[in-house]
Amino acid sequence: MSAIIIHGGAGNWRESQLAAARRALPIILQSCWTILQNGASAVDVVVEAVRQLEDATCFNAGHGSVENDEQQPEMDAIVINGQDISFGAVAGLSRIGNPVLLANTVRTSSPHSFLIAAGAERFAMEQGFNLCSPEALLTPQQNALSTPASETEKPETEKPDTEKYGVSDTVGACVLDNLGNFASALSTGGTRGKKKGRVGDVPVIGSGAYASNKLGAVAATGRGEDIMRSILAYSVALTLPGTISTEQACQQGIEQLENICGKSEIGLICLNIKGNIGWHFNTKAMPGGHISSSSPAPSIFGC
C-alpha cells in the first residue's frame, strides 16, 4: 500500500487562485505518484511534492511567498522521515527558492536539525545551493492578494471593504511508500505582514508536521501560534492507530486546538498505517489532493 496527500494551505482564497490550484494539484500528484511507484522512498517523494508546490507560484511557499512588514519574504520549512524521526528544519530564509530542499539537506548533511536565517543560507552555499534575490520569490499573483477582492469575486454576504483574500500560510505533504515508511514535509512563505523574525509552527517538529512509522503522518496549515500551543501534528498522530477514522482524527484535532486556543483557522491532512487518507479544515478553502494504491488517479478536495 502506498499513498500521497498534499495541501496548498487553508485560508480565505480568491476564486482565481483556487482555479490555479485546481490546475496545479493533479499534475503534482501524478508526477509524484510516478516517482513513488518507480521505487522512490517516502521521504524523497514528500520532498519532491513540496518542491513542486513551492514552484507552482499559486501557493504561499517558495516562488509564491508573501511580504513581511519590511516587504521581504521570510520562509520556513521542515522534512521528517518517519523511519527514524530524523528531521531537518530551516527558518527565516529570504534567498532560497526551495526551502524544502535545504531543510532536507540539513537533515541528511548537517550535525544539526534546525538552522535559521543567515546561518542557514551560509550552510546552503556550502552545500552548493544557488541564492536568489528576495524579489524573485514575491510573485505578482501573491502581491495582488494583499488588497480586497473585486466585487465580482465576493459573495453577497461578505463586506467588500474589509474582507481580505489570499492564501493562509503553508503547503504540505504526507507520503506512505511501498515499504511502509512515512514522511511529512511543510514549507511556508510566511504570514503576510508579519514582524521580521517571526517563526510559526512550520519548522517546529510536532507542531505543524509529524511522521512516524509506528503512527502515520500529519501535516497542518493555519494560524501558527495556535498550532504550536496545541502541538497539533503530534497530538493528531497519536490518535491515528486508534479506532477513529483519519477524517475524525483531523476533525478532533482541530476541535481540541480550539478548546485550548479558541476559534482559529486550521486545516489538517494525514495518513495512517493502513494507508487511509484523511483531511479536515474550517476555512473557506484548503486546496489539496490525494492518490493511492486503492485510488490510483489524482483526486482533488477543498477547492
Catalytic residues: 170
Integer Cα distance of 30 and 89 in angstroms: 26
Q: CB-based burial of residue 259 (10 Å sphere; 0-12 exposed, 13-18 middle, 19+ buried)? A: exposed
**270 DSSP β-pair partners:** 218, 278
Integer angstrom CA distances of residue 282 from 16, 234, 236, 247, 250: 20, 19, 16, 13, 11
Contact indicator for 187, 62 with CB cutoff of 8 Å:
yes
**DSSP state string for 141-163:** HHHGGGSPPPGGGS-TTS-TTT-
CA gyration radius, the chain = 18
Phi-psi region of 226 (alpha: psi -120 to 50; beta: other; left: phi over 0): alpha
Q: What does each C-alpha distance from 67 to 99, 149, 257, 286 come to in angstroms?
A: 16, 18, 27, 21
* Sign of the alpha-carbon torsion through 16, 19, 25, 30: negative
Residues 23, 178: Cα–Cα separation, whole Å: 27
The x, y and z cell numbers of residue 51, run together, are 518542491
Greatest alpha-carbon pair distance for the chain in Å reads 55
Please list, residue by residue across 65-78, b when 16 or more beta carbons sit within 10 angstroms of its beta carbon and e when fewer do: bbbbeeebbbbbbb
